[in-house]
Amino acid sequence: MGFPVEFLWGGASAANQCEGGIFEGGRGLANVDVCPSGPDRNAVIIGHRKMFQMDEEHQYPAAGGVDFYHRYREDIQLMGEMGFKVYRMSIAWTRIFPNGEEEMPNEEGIAFYEHVFQECRKYRIKPLVTISHFDCPIHLIEKYGGWRDRRMIDHYLRLCRVLFERYRDYVTHWLTFNEINMILHAPFMGAGLCFGNGENEEQVKYQAAHHELIASALAVKLAHEMNPENKVGCMFAAGAAYPYSCRPQDVWEALLTDQENYFFVDVQARGYYPSYAVKRLQKKGVYPVMDGGDEKLLREYPVDFISFSYYNSRCIAAEEQETAEGNLFKSAKNPYLKFSEWGWPIDPLGLRITLNQVYDRYQKPLFIVENGLGALDCPDADGYVSDDYRIDYLREHIRAMKAAVEEDGVDLMGYTSWAPIDLISAGTGEMKKRYGYVYVDRQEDGSGTLNRIRKKSFYWYQRVIESNGEVL
């Protein structure tokens, strides 16, 4: 009993939130670089305020990140010390193709990730690579309007081909798009979409999503053709939708919310548009334009496994209720739960419920590739953080995951918590919202030494991995 011996314990990060060095190594500019911190961030990430370059008025925290670009050796060494079996990381598209359209890749960018993979190998850490963690070259946004244009598929596949070929010796596990359903909630950050006045946003979002779904299917095809060892997964922002009450109207609304979320995975895992989506998108007049061969492609190349982030469950009411924050979108406040300092519900049992729901629905191996607590950490005089609150959060979630594996029979490949080393928040652009086992001395105003300091949770997680989840 317990976790299988090959269970993949580790942590997850994203290039744009940790690397920095955005003007180094021949890298080009991406949407994720120009999302400012502060009050204008939301309008930019939802595509209502166009920002295609940096200006003097705003701060752009991704520009410096936490300097993984220069400190990756130290960071991976720390992961090795914790006993990581896997490191989920992403590739900055614009390091490989600075404007997204070049014929030949940027060798300096290729070399950077090769060095990262070599460091991982030193500690026997398997990389799990997200091909696109929200990023999209600015040039492609200016020229094509991001994923609203079908030609994005070719540019994305050119990136995939280079990655599958050049990293063949290092990587066998890939994720096509991070949180693909975020296109509905953060369309500029998620897919480079900006909207004109009076434009039908839903139509643009579903058309862009269709292009991503086709790109994802073609990436599965290519990955399998180029290396039969390759396994490709999809990734979505999960979190069971609870009805606010047993009123049938609340139950119905919760079901609709779940369907909106599962739509993407239904296509990627089962290989076709589910009937509820066909009907509803057609009724709203937002059913995407498809090419003749699209349905066949989707059917022929479903993903090998399903990965997801889980931070919180959601509570859905038919009538207006007090709301709570959550991973990029709000829902009704669940009176039975406690909340993080950022107002996100804390619901470990919700992870077990989500695991069961996703496994029941797809019957494919699952991978939890994000889960964690964003909190304010207060280092003592020596810089040490006693983050018992984080340990409590993670312990309860790992217990729930263990129950899903041991008692419910869910086939789970691994767990990568978000994020092993503190980094910039995707939702708010803040540095002070920390998730790591390792504290990074970078403050909200950009000051700090960038030194890495092990927190209490570092030693705790080390024991968890060492005991394969027995000592919690």
Helices 248-265 & 348-362, crossing angle to 10 degrees? 60
Q: Considering CB under 6 A, how many residues would be counted as binding ligand BG6? A: 16
Q: Which is nearer to ligand BG6, 68 or 287 (CB)?
A: 68
Choices 151-159, 356-364, 386-394, 422-430 (CB under 6 A): range interacting with ligand BG6 = 422-430
Q: Should residue 314 be labelled a site residue for ligand BG6 when binding is judged by CB under 6 A?
A: no
Distance CA 51, CA 34 (A): 7
370 forms part of the interface with ligand BG6 (CB under 6 A): yes
Determine if 309 is a binding residue for ligand BG6 (CB under 6 A). yes
Catalytic, 103? Answer no
**By CB under 6 A, residue 374 contacts ligand BG6:** yes
Judged by beta carbon, residue 34 or residue 318, the one nearer ligand BG6 is: 34
Distance CA 296, CA 218 (A): 11
Please give the Cα distance from 305 to 172 (Å, whole number). Answer: 13
Which one of 63-71, 168-176, 288-296, 427-435 is the stretch in contact with ligand BG6 (CB under 6 A)?
Answer: 427-435
Distance CA 318, CA 103 (A): 51
Q: Does 354 bind ligand BG6 (CB under 6 A)?
A: no
Please state, as a whole number, how many other Cβ atoms lie within 10 Å of the Cβ of residue 389: 16
Other Cβ atoms closer than 10 A to 281: 18
Which residue type is seen at 275? Answer: S
Q: Which of 88/106 has CB closer to ligand BG6?
A: 88
| Kind plus residue range of the DSSP H or E element containing 128 | strand 126-132
Q: Which is nearer to ligand BG6, 147 or 301 (CB)?
A: 147
Q: Does 426 bind ligand BG6 (CB under 6 A)?
A: yes
β-strands 366-370, 323-324: how paired? unpaired
Any idea what DSSP says for residue 269?
Answer: I
Site map for ligand BG6, 228-267, x if CB under 6 A?
---------x------------------------------
The CA radius of gyration of the chain, in Å to the nearest whole number, is 21
Cis? peptide before 419, omega within 30° of 0: yes
Q: Which of 119, 179, 212, 253 is catalytic?
A: 179
Q: Examine the residue annotation and report whether 370 is marked as an active-site residue of this protein.
A: yes
Residue number closest to ligand BG6, CB atom: 427
**By CB under 6 A, is residue 90 in contact with ligand BG6?**
no
Catalytic residue among 19, 212, 253, 370: 370
Q: Does 176 bind ligand BG6 (CB under 6 A)?
A: no
Q: Print the binding letters for residues 380-419 with ligand BG6: x by CB under 6 A, - otherwise.
A: --------------------------------------x-
Residue 223 within binding range of ligand BG6, rule CB under 6 A: no
Does 32 participate in binding ligand BG6 (rule CB under 6 A)? no
Task: State which of positions 4-23 bind ligand BG6 (CB under 6 A).
Answer: 14, 17
Minimum distance from residue 433 beta carbon to ligand BG6 (Å): 5
What DSSP line would sit under 364-396, residue for residue? S-EEEEE----B-----TTS----HHHHHHHHH
Q: How far apart are CA 94 and CA 176, in angstroms?
A: 16
Q: Provide, rounded to whole angstroms, the least separation between the CB of residue 237 and ligand BG6.
A: 6
Separation CA 293–CA 270 (nearest Å): 17
Measured from the CB atom, the residue of 15 and 159 that comes closer to ligand BG6 is 15
Task: Name which of 119 and 179 has its Cβ closer to ligand BG6.
Answer: 179
- Residues 146 and 32: their CA atoms lie apart, in Å, by 13
Strand 331-332 vs strand 126-132: parallel, antiparallel, or unpaired? unpaired
**Residue 375 found at the interface with ligand BG6 (CB under 6 A):** no
d(CA 330, CA 246): 20
Three-state DSSP class for 456? Answer: helix
β pairing state of 452-454 and 438-440: antiparallel
Give me the 131-170 binding string for ligand BG6, x by CB under 6 A, dash otherwise. Answer: ----------------------------------------
CB 250, min distance to ligand BG6, A:
26
**Residue 227: CB minimum distance to ligand BG6, A:** 26
CA-CA-CA-CA torsion sign (305, 309, 310, 314): negative
Burial degree of 149 (CB within 10 A; 0-12, 13-18, 19+): middle
* Interacting residues toward ligand BG6 by CB under 6 A: 14, 17, 178-179, 237, 309, 327-328, 370, 374, 418, 425-428, 433
Task: Report the catalytic residues.
Answer: 179, 370
